[in-house]
Chain A
Amino acid sequence: MLAFLLKRLSMAVLVALTVSSLTFSLNFLSGDPAIALGGESATEADLQTIRETYGYDKPIPVQYINWLTRAVQGDLGQSHYLNQPVSEEIFQRLPTTMALGLCALVFALALSIPLGVLAAIRPNSLLDRFALTIAVVGQAMPSFWFGLTMMLWFAINWRILPVSGSDSWKHFVMPSIALGYYITPGVMRLTRAGMLEVLRSDYIRTARAKGVSKFSLLFKHALRNAIIPVVSLAAVQFGFMLGGSIVIETIFAINGLGFLAWESIQRADLPMMQAIVLVLSFFYIALTFFADVLNAWLDPRIRIG
C-alpha cells in the first residue's frame, strides 16, 4: 500500500509541474503580456518599462524558473494588476468557489442518485428512459444558456431569486443548479449500473427472502454498496466544478476563483494565473489522489495490479 501511495504521490507532483509549465508557456502565445498590462494607449517606452519592471524581457524558461523558485519557498508573488499578494486574493475568494462547488455537488447528487435508483428498479422501462433524459439534458444544455434562462424566469419574470451576487444563500440557488446539472448524467449512470449489479447479488436475494421492506432493501442494503464508486466519482467531479465554475461565476457575478482566473487571463496577470492554476490543480490532484486511495482501499486488486 505504501509503494502505491508513493507512486501516486510522485505522479501527482509531476502532473502539477507539467500543468504549471504548460500554462506559463501558453501565456506568452497569446501575445506580449506587457501590452495587455499597459493598455491600448501605452507607448513603446511604457511597454519597455513594464517589461523591465516585471521581468518580461528575460527568456521564458528563466522567468519560469524564477517563479518556481519563489513558489517553492511559499512566495506566489504579487499580482501585477491587483497590486496585492496573490495568495491573499486567492484565499479570500476560494471560500466562495468552494461553497458554489459544494452546493452544486449536493444538487447533482440529490438529483442523480434518486434518478439512478429509480432507473435501476425498472431497467429499460419508460421510467428508466425518463430518468436518463432528465440527466442527459443537463449535459447537453450549455450551462451559460441554462443559467440565463433560469435568470429570465426566476429573477426577472417572477422575482423570487436575486439576479447576481453572492451575499446570501438565495444567490447560490441558480448558479448551483446550472453548475451541478452538468455532472448529473455521469453520477446517475454509475448509480444505475451499481444498483443493477447489487440488486442481482445473493445477499439482496437473501434480504428479500427475509421480508425486508422495499425501501430498506433499496436504500439501506443495496444503495450503500452501489454508491461506493459514486463517492470517488463525486470527489473528482468536485475538483472539476472548482475549475469549471468560470462561466457560471461570470454569468452570476460571483467573484470567486473562476472569475478571477478569467479576468487574470484577459489582463495577462501572470503571477495570478500561475497561482490559480497551481491551487486548482492541487485540489484536482488531491481529490483524484483521494479517489484513487479510496478505490485501492476498497478493492485490493487495484493496489496490487
Chain B
Amino acid sequence: MKSIKISLLVGLLATTALPAMAGKAQDTLNWATDKEVAVVDPYFSVTRELVIMGHMGWDGLVLFNNETGDFDPLLATGWEWKSNTVVEFDLRQGVVFHDGSTFDADDVVYTINFLADEANGVPAQSVVNWMKSATKIDQYKVRLELVQPFPNAFAYLANEISIMPEGYYDGSTIGADGTRDLSGVTPNGTGPYRVSDVRTGKYVNWDKNENYFADGPKGTPQIGHINFRTIGETNTQLAELMTGGLDWAWDVPKEQALRLEDSGQVQVVNEKTLRISYLTFDVTGSSGQDYFTDQKVRAAVAHAINREAIAKELVGPASVVIHSACHPEQFGCTEDVPQYDYDPEKAKALLAEAGYPDGFDFDLYGYREREFTEAVIGDLAAVGIRAKLNWLQYSSLLQALQNGKTPVAQMTWGSSSIPDVAAITSHFFSGSADDPAKDPRTAEALRRGDTSVDPEVRAEAYAEALNIISEELYWLPMFTYTKYYAFSNDLNFTPTADEIPRLYEASWK
C-alpha cells in the first residue's frame, strides 16, 4: 500500500513538474528589473528601463559607439556644423516606421519642435531644452538650431532623442493636474523591435522588426521576441534565472553574483559603469561643523581612506579608484591632477598640523550601499576621525546637501550615461545649488569648456577646473561603480559602460 502511495506521489510530481521555460527554445529573451514600466514612451517616463526600450523601439539621429568613443550615423547619414549652434543632418532614406509609414525630415522636425516647446510638458526639461528648433531643408535634410553652444548635444541626440513619426502625440492631452494622458498613443518607431503587447506595470513584449534597415550601426535583430517583466525582488529574479523563467538580469548584488557564477548555471559579468562615488565636503562651514573648511583636514580624510580596498573588495573587479571629479572614460576627464594616496600616518600628521591631534567627531551622510560608507567610517576611525552615520533617502539627503547642512556626504553620480565631463563636473562646479564651493575659478573654466565645440579648447578648460577641484579637495573622488550582469548560458550579450544594454544586439549561441 505504501509503495502505491509513493508511486502516486512521484507520478503526480512528474505530471505537474514545470519544464524550464528555455528562452532559446522559444526564441524569446525574457528579462526583468524591479521597476514598473508605465507607458512605453521614452520622453514621459524617466526610468532606465525606458532608455533601454527607447533604443529597442526607436532610433535617434546618431548612436554612441562604445568601442571607438565616436558617434555613428543612425537615422542621419552625415552632418555638418554650420556654427556653434547650428548643425545640419542628411537623413537615411528607405526607413519605415513600424506602422509602415515612411521616415523623412518631417518626422525629425516634428519630434524636435515638439520636445523643444516647454508647453508640451516633457518632464526632464534638461534633456530637451538645449534644442531651439528644427527646420526642414528638403525631404531628407534638416537643420537643428541650439539655444546656445552645448557640448553634450550629440550625447543627448544619441542617448535620449528618439525620432517619433509626425503627429505622434496629437492624440494625447495634458490634464488639469499637468499630466499628459498617453493612453491614446500607440508605440510606433523605426527601431529594431516593435511592441507587440503591453500591460501597465506588468510586462512589455516586443517582436523583431523584420523590416529593420540592414546597414545601420544597430545591426540586424537576431532574437524573435524580447519580453520584459517587472519582478520587484532580486531573489525572485535570480530564482527565475536559475529555473529558466528569465534569460537576463542586471544589478545583481555582488555576493549573489559570485554564488551564481560558482554554480555555472548562468553567465556572470562584472562591467564598469559611468557612475562614480565621491565625498563632498562642507567647505564653507554652513553645517555648523567647520572642520572641513581647512584643506589640511580634507587632505587628511583623503589619505586616511583605503579606496583601492573598497573598490576591489566591496565594489567589484571592474571598479577603479579615481582622482578627478569625473569618470575616466568621459571626454575631458584627466587623472593628471593632485592625487592623495592611502597613507594613514600622513593623515594623522595633517590632522595634528590642522590643530586636531586627537581627531574629532562629525556627521557623515550617505544614502546608497551602506557597506561602502561603513568602510569609510572604519578607515577614518583608524586615524582618529570619528564619524556619526546619518542614513537618509536620496531626496532628503539632496535637500540637506543643497541647504549646506551636511559636513561630509558620500554621494554618487551616473552622468545620465553621458560620456562627457560636462554631464558631471559642469553640473557640480558651475555655481549652482549643487556646487559645494562656488569657486569662480572653476565656474569660469567650465563655462569656457561648455561653450566651445573645439575639443582642444574644451579639454584644456576642463583640465584647469579639475585641477582646481583636486588641489582644493572640494570633492574626494572615490571609485567607479560596476554592475553585475547575469544571463543565460545560451545568450551572446556584451554589457557596456553606459548602462544602456544593447538587448537588440543579443543573439543565441
A binding-site residues for B, Cβ under 8 Å = 30-33, 35-46, 49-50, 53-55, 77-85, 89, 92-93, 148, 151-152, 155-156, 158-165, 170, 249-253, 255, 259-260, 262-263, 268, 271
- Residue from A148, A161, A253 within 8 A of B231 (CB atoms): A253
Does B181 contact A44, Cβ atoms closer than 8 Å? no
Q: Is the interface of B mostly helix, strand, loop or mixed?
A: loop
> What distance in Å separates the Cβ of A28 from its nearest Cβ neighbour in chain B?
11
- Complex Cα gap A49–B178 (Å): 10
B240: nearest chain-A partner, CB-CB = A163
When distances are taken between beta carbons in the complex, the residues of chain A under 8 Å from B17 are: 158-160
Does A148 contact B235, Cβ atoms closer than 8 Å? yes
When distances are taken between beta carbons in the complex, the residues of chain A under 8 Å from B124 are: 38-39, 41-42, 46
- Complex Cα gap A81–B393 (Å): 19
Among A31, A249, A260, A271, chain B packs the most CB atoms within 10 A around the CB of: A31
30 cross-chain CB contacts under 8 A? A31-B398, A32-B399, A36-B394, A37-B46, A39-B46, A40-B394, A40-B413, A44-B433, A49-B118, A78-B179, A78-B181, A80-B179, A83-B45, A83-B180, A84-B181, A84-B182, A89-B201, A155-B239, A158-B13, A159-B243, A163-B243, A164-B236, A164-B240, A251-B236, A255-B201, A255-B230, A262-B232, A263-B232, A268-B395, A271-B177
Does B240 contact A55, Cβ atoms closer than 8 Å? no
When distances are taken between beta carbons in the complex, the residues of chain B under 8 Å from A161 are: 18
- Complex Cα gap A263–B39 (Å): 15
Does B36 contact A255, Cβ atoms closer than 8 Å? yes
- Residue from A35, A49, A165, A170 within 8 A of B399 (CB atoms): A35
> What distance in Å separates the Cβ of B236 from its nearest Cβ neighbour in chain A?
5
Does A32 contact B395, Cβ atoms closer than 8 Å? yes
* A30-B395 contact, Cβ under 8 Å, with A41-B414, A156-B242, A161-B18: yes
A32: nearest chain-B partner, CB-CB = B395
* A250-B123 contact, Cβ under 8 Å, with A82-B201, A151-B239, A255-B201: no
In the complex, number of A-B residue pairs with CB atoms less than 8 Å apart: 164
A54: nearest chain-B partner, CB-CB = B178
When distances are taken between beta carbons in the complex, the residues of chain B under 8 Å from A271 are: 177
> What distance in Å separates the Cβ of A63 from its nearest Cβ neighbour in chain B?
11
* A159-B236 contact, Cβ under 8 Å, with A40-B414, A92-B200: no
A250: nearest chain-B partner, CB-CB = B232
Does A83 contact B236, Cβ atoms closer than 8 Å? no
When distances are taken between beta carbons in the complex, the residues of chain A under 8 Å from B26 are: none
At the interface, yes or no: B256 with Cβ under 8 Å from chain A?
A: no
When distances are taken between beta carbons in the complex, the residues of chain B under 8 Å from A152 are: 239
When distances are taken between beta carbons in the complex, the residues of chain A under 8 Å from B181 are: 78, 83-85
* A53-B121 contact, Cβ under 8 Å, with A43-B126, A82-B201: yes
* A252-B236 contact, Cβ under 8 Å, with A39-B124, A42-B124, A42-B126: yes
> What distance in Å separates the Cβ of B166 from its nearest Cβ neighbour in chain A?
21
When distances are taken between beta carbons in the complex, the residues of chain A under 8 Å from B242 are: 156
When distances are taken between beta carbons in the complex, the residues of chain B under 8 Å from A44 are: 432-434
- Complex Cα gap A151–B239 (Å): 8
* A37-B123 contact, Cβ under 8 Å, with A82-B38, A253-B231: yes
When distances are taken between beta carbons in the complex, the residues of chain B under 8 Å from A85 are: 181
> What distance in Å separates the Cβ of A141 from its nearest Cβ neighbour in chain B?
16
- Complex Cα gap A43–B428 (Å): 10
Does A251 contact B233, Cβ atoms closer than 8 Å? yes
Interface size on B, residues (CB 8 A): 58
Does B232 contact A46, Cβ atoms closer than 8 Å? no
At the interface, yes or no: B183 with Cβ under 8 Å from chain A?
A: yes
Does A160 contact B125, Cβ atoms closer than 8 Å? no
**Given A54-B177, A151-B239, A259-B201, 15 other A-B residues pairs in contact with their CB atoms under 8 A:** A31-B396, A31-B398, A32-B399, A38-B124, A39-B46, A43-B126, A44-B434, A49-B118, A53-B123, A55-B177, A161-B18, A163-B245, A165-B229, A255-B36, A255-B230
A67: nearest chain-B partner, CB-CB = B177
Which 9 pairs, one residue from A and one from B, show the smallest C-beta to C-beta distance?
A31-B395, A53-B178, A35-B395, A82-B38, A31-B396, A78-B179, A250-B232, A253-B231, A41-B416
- Complex Cα gap A36–B398 (Å): 11
- Complex Cα gap A152–B427 (Å): 46
> What distance in Å separates the Cβ of B178 from its nearest Cβ neighbour in chain A?
4
- Complex Cα gap A42–B432 (Å): 13
- Complex Cα gap A277–B324 (Å): 47
Does A160 contact B16, Cβ atoms closer than 8 Å? yes
At the interface, yes or no: B150 with Cβ under 8 Å from chain A?
A: no
Does A46 contact B201, Cβ atoms closer than 8 Å? no
- Complex Cα gap A298–B301 (Å): 72
At the interface, yes or no: B79 with Cβ under 8 Å from chain A?
A: no
Does A155 contact B394, Cβ atoms closer than 8 Å? no
When distances are taken between beta carbons in the complex, the residues of chain A under 8 Å from B239 are: 151-152, 155-156, 163-164
> What distance in Å separates the Cβ of A25 from its nearest Cβ neighbour in chain B?
15
